[in-house]
Structure 1
Amino acid sequence: MNKIVQPLYEDNHLLIVNKPAGYLVQGDHTGDKTLLDYCKDYIAEKYDKPGAVFLHPVHRLDRPVSGVLVFARTSKALERMNKIFASRKVQKTYWAVVKKRPAQQKGKLVSWLKKDGAKNTVTAYAEPIDGAQKAETNFKVLGKLNNHYLVELEPLTGRPHQLRVHMSEFGCPIRGDLKYGFPKPNLDKSINLHARRLYFEHPVKKEPLIIVAGLPTDQFWEQFLTLDEVKVKEKNINNMFS
């Protein structure tokens, strides 16, 4: 269990973990054991809780994606975290690895996304259409290593498959993402999309939380640490909540 549940932060209100790629956050038709199940087991064992454990994901990460994931440990924390996410008082930063060089060094991707629930795929449109939701993503190319580019993504909205579709529409599908145009899979069926950082105000303590998830432990991912130039400063965090 220890390799699956990787706590980054925990208190009486929240459990924040570094999600490994390949695990569902919540159950689906496969019936596979989920990260939520493993985290409930972790809490029950660590805190010797004999009854049912209350734990609920505040947001989702797709099965092949890794990185920061927040669970609420109480109904009050869940309600407050839902409001924080709904009001966009959270800053999410992802890292994506692509093979093709992006056409611009930085910018914003905007489109309208419509999900096909039966196929579990999302289609992007340049203009509004019925049933589609507007999606916005800031991007910045951090650098190039071994013929791959590391792109920092900041979703301003939280649509299903948003980052995967946006990079595909931009002509730069994420490495390993067969569903959205990359030509071959990664050996472990992951895609090179990682929820790297999450900044928000604690729902109860009202203190800024800065959560950074370490990269998956493989040589391909770890080489990109040399391109991480972000310096977290208190003034940047304070400005976000002002």
Structure 2
Amino acid sequence: MRSFQINANDSGQRVDKFITKAVPLLPQPLLYKSIRLKRIKLNGKRCEISTRLAEGDLLELYLNDEFFDVPSPELIFLRAPTALDILYEDENLLLVDKKPGLVVHEDESGRPDTLINRIQHYLYDKGEYLPEQEHSFAPALCNRIDRNTGGIVIAAKNAPTLRVLNQKIKDRELQKLYLAVIHGQLKQKSGVLKAFLTKAGDENRVTVTNTPSPGGRTILTKYRILAENGRFSLIEVDLLTGRTHQIRAHFAFLGHPLLGDTKYGFARDNRGTSYKYQALYAYQLVFRFQGGAEHLEYLNGQTFAVPHVWFAEDFKNGKIR
């Protein structure tokens, strides 16, 4: 038998979802059968699969020890450095300025130096993340940014914050503004561009068209020109829809690929600029909650921005030509 005292990060979850995370060796069919046979009890009583856990609950599993014999996992995040550019931090979240070249989660290379591992290591050293006291939660990212794109990433320190922010992002109640340098000049100084985007099979690539296609999704890209020099333009972009590679693919489709982008642009166009990564940065975040945000209401209306984006400064100083 094994019992779990439900803490704040476990609360709100369905019984079956919690057990799947806390007891990964337990087969799903046996989990459901054990609930039916009352081998799994909540506060000494029968529970249902869909019962929601509350802080302070006692969940008891009358099961064989073999399902609990999980070796203590190596804390992989301890192998990552703790270097972070923190824009803002409080008891619920971190806003981190991710630099180009750093992946947010582990990729096929398996290297431990990822943004989330750095954050978990940082919080572990501060005593704010204690894996041995958690049954089903670890600090997690609320949004992602491509390896070679920089900008603001939100990390939740607790499960209630992760839940609220994930819903707010889904409901598009957080505004993210980007800076980018594109080749050429757009006819209009500002506007909203509409097109259709389709993922290209299993490739990490998308295609953009003017007309709908099977599997295609509408994209809306709002922009305004901040500066021009003939060969390039510095623009601010507000994603009204958030699709994979939307900014890069949309402007490339229009004949204005991003400086440094060789996936949707051409290397020959970037010669003499020394830019290895696409000139794209998620530089500003605005919390625009339309409904209640529970314990995060204090964030509503707040704006956070990266103070220095190097390519924007290079552009304004005449170093990009």
TM-score (norm: length of structure 1): 0.83
Q: What's the counterpart of residue 233 of structure 2?
A: 149
Unaligned runs of 5+ in 2: 1-80
Q: What's the counterpart of residue 173 of structure 1?
A: 257
Q: Does 1:44 find its partner at 2:44?
A: no
Query: In structure 1, what is the Cα distance between the partners aligned to 2:306 and 2:260?
Result: 20
Superposed CA RMSD in Å reads 2.4
Is contact 1:18-1:214 (8 Å) kept? no
Query: In structure 2, what is the Cα distance between the partners aligned to 1:68 and 1:156?
Result: 17
Q: What's the counterpart of residue 246 of structure 2?
A: 162
Q: Does 1:214 find its partner at 2:307?
A: yes
Q: Does 1:12 find its partner at 2:91?
A: yes
Give the 5 Å matches for 1:29-178: 29-32=108-111, 33-47=113-127, 49-51=129-131, 54-145=138-229, 147-178=231-262
Deviates more, 1:134-143 or 1:95-104: 95-104
The structure with higher relative contact order (CA 8 Å, sep 6+) is 1
C-alpha distance after superposition, 1:99-130 (max 9, x if no partner) = 31123211111112111252200111222222
Query: In structure 2, what is the Cα distance between the partners aligned to 1:81 and 1:48?
Result: 19
Amino acid at match of 2:110: G
Query: In structure 1, what is the Cα distance between the partners aligned to 2:316 and 2:151?
Result: 15
Cα distance change, pair 117–81 in 1 and its aligned pair in 2 (3 A): farther
Amino acid at match of 2:145: L
Larger Rg: 2
**In percent, how many aligned pairs have the same letter?**
30
Deviation for aligned residue 1:189? 3.1
- The structure with the greater share of residues assigned to strand is 1
Deviates more, 1:47-56 or 1:161-170: 47-56
Query: In structure 1, what is the Cα distance between the partners aligned to 2:172 and 2:124?
Result: 32
Is contact 1:10-1:16 (8 Å) kept? yes
Q: What's the counterpart of residue 233 of structure 1?
A: none
Cα distance change, pair 146–41 in 1 and its aligned pair in 2 (3 A): farther
User: How many residues were matched structurally?
Assistant: 224
Query: In structure 1, what is the Cα distance between the partners aligned to 2:280 and 2:206?
Result: 17
Query: In structure 1, what is the Cα distance between the partners aligned to 2:180 and 2:87?
Result: 21
TM-score (norm: length of structure 2): 0.64
C-alpha distance after superposition, 1:66-109 (max 9, x if no partner) = 11111111111111111111111121110001231123211111
Cα distance change, pair 100–46 in 1 and its aligned pair in 2 (3 A): same
Unaligned runs of 5+ in 1: 227-242
Deviation for aligned residue 1:160? 0.6
Is contact 2:105-2:114 (8 Å) kept? yes
